[in-house]
Structure 1
């Protein structure tokens, strides 16, 4: 069901149905982040990063839900976790059988 979070905190975008994770990131003055769950390559990260679109480290462990972490200058270059970006919804997909 769109909009309803699973036990691990993941859900789908109600408009485009992309898998997303919505979470508060940070301990003080936390940001509400809606991130795509598709991992990015380093080249895709460089293309997607803008001042208003950040890249996040998606930490996934066996017995805890996925957790987004800041990528800052102290973040290890050889990080084993996937990196994801903030979700920018392209809007609802048009049905294939419509004329316009």
Structure 2
């Protein structure tokens, strides 16, 4: 996993549903640990999935550079060319202990 403010990220799969995810510490001062789905969202999907505790992230980099997440806050350009993703929420029920 990456240090706060670094450009690195950890591509992996969700241990429960096996969906491709990206884990990264995002931010320089008060970093958030983000686990994001790698499925790009359309603008209407972004509006539907955005919640106070489920943010939309801009996924920068790719083929020849390390992928990194950036928050899509109010200063994020409306015509951003990068894919946008959201926090992963596993759809698989956890195994029961009984």
Taking structure 1 as the reference length, the TM-score comes to: 0.80
Matches for 1:9-24 after TM superposition, within 5 Å: 9-24=10-25
Larger Rg: 1 or 2?
1
Unpaired stretches in structure 1, ≥5 consecutive residues: 1-7, 93-100
Q: More strand by proportion, 1 or 2?
A: 2
Report the RMSD for the aligned CA atoms in angstroms. 1.6
Q: Which runs of 4+ in 1 moved over 6 A?
A: none
Matches for 1:1-100 after TM superposition, within 5 Å: 9-91=10-92
Q: Secondary structure at the match of 1:45?
A: helix
How far has the Cα of 1:62 moved from its partner?
A: 4.2
How far has the Cα of 1:61 moved from its partner?
A: 4.4
Q: Secondary structure at the match of 1:44?
A: helix
> 2:6 matched to which residue of 1?
none
Q: For 2:91 and 2:12, locate their aligned partners in 1 and report how far apart those are by CA, in whole Å.
A: 17
Q: For 1:62 and 1:76, locate their aligned partners in 2 and report how far apart those are by CA, in whole Å.
A: 22
How far has the Cα of 1:70 moved from its partner?
A: 0.9
